[in-house]
Amino acid sequence: MFTRKQLSVVSSSTFAFTICFAIWMMFAVIGIPIKAKLGLNETEFGLLTAMPVLSGSLIRLPLGMLTDKLGGRIVFFILMLCCVIPLWFIGDATEYWQFLVLGLFVGLAGGSFSVGIAYVARWFNKQNQGLAMGIFGAGNSGAAVTKFVAPSIVLAFGWTMVPKVYAVAMLVTALVFWMFSFTDKSHNVSSSVSVAEQLKALKDPRVWKYCQYYSIVFGGYVGLALWMTKYYVSEYGFDLKTAALLAACFSLPGGVLRAVGGWLSDKYGAHSVTWWVLWVSWICLFIMSYPQTDFTIQTVNGPETFHIGLTPTVFTVLLFIIGVAWAFGKASVFKYISDDYPHNIGVISGIVGLVGGLGGFVLPIMFGALVDLTGIRSSSFMLLYGVVWISLIWMYFTEVRTSSVLDRQSAAQSTDQS
């Protein structure tokens, strides 16, 4: 179905993005021993884990624009090389501000998404773009790679060894990517296209709607991928390794199954897939929002106390379902983009990726602040539930209701003509 060059491009890009994403999520694991070492509160821990997400999000738009202009291969390669040195020095940091600053530099790895998605998409026709972008997006499973690999390194050698191992991995990955990827200058936009013309997309309301969708399916994914290991440790008392493995039940399907979401979007359309993704998320988050509760009822036989709360098993099943749904949703949002903006996909993916990534930056901080403020750990899911509500309402009024009105108008015109 695909040519040799297409397979090589999508394979090397997906591998590179997987490693970049694993590095981007590194603080989800090493942040826990750093928190204990520095005596951080929940908000400070949230900020620590979110700093790489901030820079990785802000850089997505300029990287998308550069990809449109220069091509994805050279931009991707240079980006990975820029992350190697700051990665190495994280293991030598001792102060909170040092971790924050180095985290900003390492976070540039997260910008690889807007480079790779535009680079890969241009190698495929419209009928296969959803699948190709879904395969590339499966590199989100790098979050699960970190959950599997980093705890073992921490237990064997200490947390300071993790960034050094990752620095070497990033360097090797950059070289492998360069060897197995290709350049096609016909994919680049004309040099006569100005930055102002590229940014005209910011005035399109559809772009902001896709940003809203992506803020939950990707921003929520990043936020929970950073937060879940800590949540399992605090809520259920698991050790670091067990908590990371359970958190991977969310991270792994949330990445790997993105390719399936791309195929479904090609077959059934971006709207149908996104609509059901949001409803499944809404139901699961509603259940997960309920905190561990003990309540007493006065009965004829005296007071009776009952407990309501999710067991680790039920919670993990619900988390897995959300991971699957968001994997499909991440692919369907970019199917919208490839359908509506085939000629400037780099810029649009940069804008949408930036906003979605900022969601991943803000959410861990808000999760920590809500826990510090309310003392309720499930408040993080209450917040996500509200974000999903906004997306559902927006989609209903701009797509579902509009489609119904157009269908009725079309049916009325057909009746009049007959």
Average pLDDT over residues 388-410: 75
- CA distance linking residue 232 with residue 177, whole number of Å: 35
CA proximity to 256, closest of 320, 333, 316:
320
> Within 10 Å of residue 196's Cβ, how many Cβ atoms?
7
- CA distances 145 to 68, 117, 225, Å, are 30, 20, 11
- The answer to whether residue 61 is domain-embedded is yes
Average pLDDT over residues 242-271: 84
- CA distance linking residue 399 with residue 402, whole number of Å: 5
Confidence of residue 356 (pLDDT cuts 50, 70, 90): confident
pLDDT at position 279: 95
Has residue 383 got a pLDDT over 90?
A: yes
Q: Quick one: how far is CA 392 from the chain centroid? A: 19
pLDDT at position 101: 93
For 204, half-sphere exposure in the C-beta direction (CA atoms, 13 angstrom radius) is: 16
DSSP assignment of 364-386 equals HHHHHHHHHHH--TTHHHHHHHH
Residue spans of alpha helices (H) in 39-111? 42-58, 60-70, 72-90, 96-106
pLDDT at position 198: 65
pLDDT at position 409: 53
Which two three-digit tokens encode residue 94?
């001792």
- The answer to whether residue 313 is domain-embedded is yes
Sign of the alpha-carbon dihedral angle for 169, 230, 354, 97: negative
- Least confident interval from 285-294, 356-365, 397-406: 397-406
222 within 8 A of 359, measured Cβ to Cβ? yes
Q: Quick one: how far is CA 177 from the chain centroid? A: 22
Average pLDDT over residues 262-290: 91
The helix/strand/coil state of 402 is helix
The helix/strand/coil state of 307 is strand
Q: Quick one: how far is CA 98 from the chain centroid? A: 25
pTM, two decimals, is 0.73
As beta bridge partners, residue 294 has 307
Has residue 160 got a pLDDT over 80?
A: yes
Has residue 418 got a pLDDT over 90?
A: no
- The answer to whether residue 230 is domain-embedded is yes
Q: Which domain holds residue 37?
A: 4-183+198-411
Distant-in-sequence, close-in-space partners of 211: CB < 8 Å, separation ≥ 6 = 351, 352, 355, 356
pLDDT at position 200: 74
324 within 8 A of 257, measured Cβ to Cβ? yes
What are the pLDDT digits (tens) for 30-73? 998 999 999 998 889 888 988 898 888 888 888 888 888 888 89
- CA distance linking residue 83 with residue 170, whole number of Å: 8
pLDDT at position 127: 78
What are the pLDDT digits (tens) for 18-30? 999 899 889 988 9
The helix/strand/coil state of 3 is coil
84 within 8 A of 170, measured Cβ to Cβ? yes
Confidence of residue 124 (pLDDT cuts 50, 70, 90): confident
- CA distances 377 to 47, 263, 415, Å, are 17, 36, 57
pLDDT at position 87: 94
pLDDT at position 311: 92
- The answer to whether residue 417 is domain-embedded is no
- The answer to whether residue 193 is domain-embedded is no
- The answer to whether residue 418 is domain-embedded is no
The helix/strand/coil state of 257 is coil
pLDDT at position 326: 92
pLDDT at position 195: 65
- The answer to whether residue 132 is domain-embedded is yes
Confidence of residue 167 (pLDDT cuts 50, 70, 90): very high
Q: What is the CATH number of the domain that holds 144?
A: 1.20.1250.20
Has residue 148 got a pLDDT over 60?
A: yes
Average pLDDT over residues 372-386: 92
Task: Please report, rounded to a whole number, the percentage of residues in the chain having pLDDT higher than 90.
Answer: 33
Q: What is the mean pLDDT of the chain?
A: 86
For 310, half-sphere exposure in the C-beta direction (CA atoms, 13 angstrom radius) is: 21
Average pLDDT over residues 75-98: 93
The helix/strand/coil state of 293 is strand
pLDDT at position 322: 94
> Within 10 Å of residue 359's Cβ, how many Cβ atoms?
26
Average pLDDT over residues 81-107: 93
Has residue 274 got a pLDDT over 60?
A: yes
pLDDT at position 370: 92
What are the pLDDT digits (tens) for 171-208? 999 999 999 999 887 776 666 666 677 677 778 888 88
> Within 10 Å of residue 198's Cβ, how many Cβ atoms?
21
Has residue 412 got a pLDDT over 70?
A: no
- CA distance linking residue 286 with residue 304, whole number of Å: 26
The domain tally of the chain equals 1
- The answer to whether residue 278 is domain-embedded is yes
CA angle centred on 213, ends 340 and 100, rounded to 5°: 115
Torsion of CA 70, 71, 75, 76, to 10 degrees: 180
Q: Quick one: how far is CA 108 from the chain centroid? A: 14
Has residue 300 got a pLDDT over 80?
A: yes
DSSP assignment of 237-258 equals ---HHHHHHHHHHHHHHHHHTH
